[in-house]
Structure 1
Amino acid sequence: MKLAYVAGWAALLGMGLLPLPAAAQSVPAKELFGAVERPAALRTQSLGSYAKGCIAGAVELPADGPHWQSMRLSRNRHWGHPNLVAFLDRFAQRAVAETGWPGLLVGDLSQPRGGPMPSGHASHQIGLDVDIWAQPMPAQRLTAGQREDFPFRSVLRKGTLQVDERTWDDRYGRLIRLAAESPEVQRIFVHPGVKRKLCQVAGRDRSWLAKVRPMYGHDEHFHIRLFCQAGSPGCQPQEPVVAKDGCDDLDYWFNVALKPPKPGAKPWKRPAPMTMAALPKACQTVLAAADGGPRQVAPAAPTLAAMAPDGGTSFPPLPGAVPIPAPRPLP
């Protein structure tokens, strides 16, 4: 199946004009979900697992809030469960008031209907995940163009797995702790080097560290994941975190997982992209539902006339994927 048809299918599906064509079942799901500009006009539900699912009735985090600015607007990845958007509003206010952090730079949430993304994430599929950048919000409001080019900043010393003390900000550690102590939060993902730094400065009250989990990448941001929400019976929860702080379990990361591969080792093979058959069947309904409303940022979806200039027999190719500053193998 040629990719030239994917954008057209996605547009027609999003208008509720077509069921999912049988041929689309073999198209990578990331191409179908990535081409849809607006959410499904359905009751809000997270469906499936964080890394294999979708969301109906998502809402968009505004580009600007009193204590946050959304970044990389062109990706159209600032959609989520309404409870996630409400959580971010509360969390941003608390961050300023309780940690001294001057505001959040908010990275990716989910696509308008969740699902796999064309680049950058394996999770973020059901509207309950969000990335918070490791840089404080600047005092000025960034333009849309500046938000595309504003660089990520790693908190690690270049070429090492250790936190750079010249870059590390104690307020950032307090920000992560504030998120971990929030009852809505199920897990937080950080780079193993950041986890080790938090273990070193945590003090005697260490219970919150159980939610802070080491993961590849995550040296330029931390990843917040909320629990499955009420009203989403199809949401698949993760196992509860164990009570221990996890600080004694970091050797695996530094001595095994993050070590360069041995000479002659078999290279890692990227798995085949998942198709719609791998997702909950309800995600086909989500993909085929009518649009739930206009976006708050970025251009509207193209018209049918623009998408099928020769009468509907072909469609223009998908736009190129927006590059990300660094690889992010996520859970």
Structure 2
Amino acid sequence: MPDTDRTETGPSRPPRHAPEGHPSLPPARTGVLLANLGTPDGHDYWSMRRYLGEFLSDQRVVDYPRWKWQPLLQTVILTKRPFTSGAAYRSIWNEELNESPLLTITKAQTAAIRETLRARYGDQVMTEFCMRYGNPSTRATVRRMIDAGCRRIVFFPLYPQYAGATTATANDALFKALMKEKWQPPVRTVPAYCDRPDYIDALARSVERAYDAMETKPDILVASYHGVPERYLHEGDPYHCQCQKTTRLLRERLGWSEEKLVTTFQSRFGPEEWLKPYTVEEVARLAQAGKKRIAVIAPAFSADCIETLEEINEEIRESFEHAGGETFTYIPCLNDDEAHIEALSNVIGDNLAGWIDRVDTETP
């Protein structure tokens, strides 16, 4: 049997005590695979159609019966929506690297986490990232990590709050990828981290930095989370409760009263009732109620993306200003902020416990 407990580095070679002619194997390592939602390869029509087709065909995202949903998706939605979504992506596209901001930021996060884990664990860990929709795909990344010697994998969907349409579908993609493997590595899936003190502290520090830079402070802070249909709450999805908990813990960490911070939900899609209040409507109501200066933060997103850079900072801002609002401040996601990288690395460390030991190649 192959020696699966080796963690040394070096070139591929047959396992110890293997018979002559046994295929070479790379040194065994533990993999850490970060996962985010996804990104189109470009903002042109066909790139957007491929991406939206994959995304909107996921029954975790749209759970209507396929016989009812797919004809509408293929003949109507995917005929028109790639144009409007492509225009939205074009307005925020990283032209220098020819990629979406989400991809740029996720690369930076992965590089920073990789260095942090290398300092803690040496060469025992391989750190990579994948996207649930688009590229790099979960399947291709899992295959590459196994080829590189990953005999165990910690899989980390980068969503602070659990939702079936985000965390669960990312896990689904991982399990489907493992179905193709002859030799499946043991895996650990990372749970929601919405109430971790280090994550809450990183959020609070980002708010404090933004407020310290303003001469006149906002009247209220809006915590805008991505929405889901309201019925998901009644069907057992904990997302709504975890969003409310994040807001409460953030408010307590900041030492604010309840009226200084409100929870809202954005990105409604389709005819159903979604979690309320809707951000786009609530910011208009706040402006009409005399809250002329607001700030918006997006605690459900680990990285800035189309929903923050375009929807919040353009569409939702416009709704607020149209209703009489005067000063709108968007507080960026935590992205590759040092405190965020430390918090994410700590989450990973907790999930590596029992598999590998810290070596701390650098003095803290």
TM-score (norm 1): 0.24
Task: Kindly indicate which of the two structures has a greater share of residues assigned to helix.
Answer: 2
Q: Which has the higher contact order (CA 8 A, sep 6+)?
A: 1
Larger Rg over CA atoms: 2
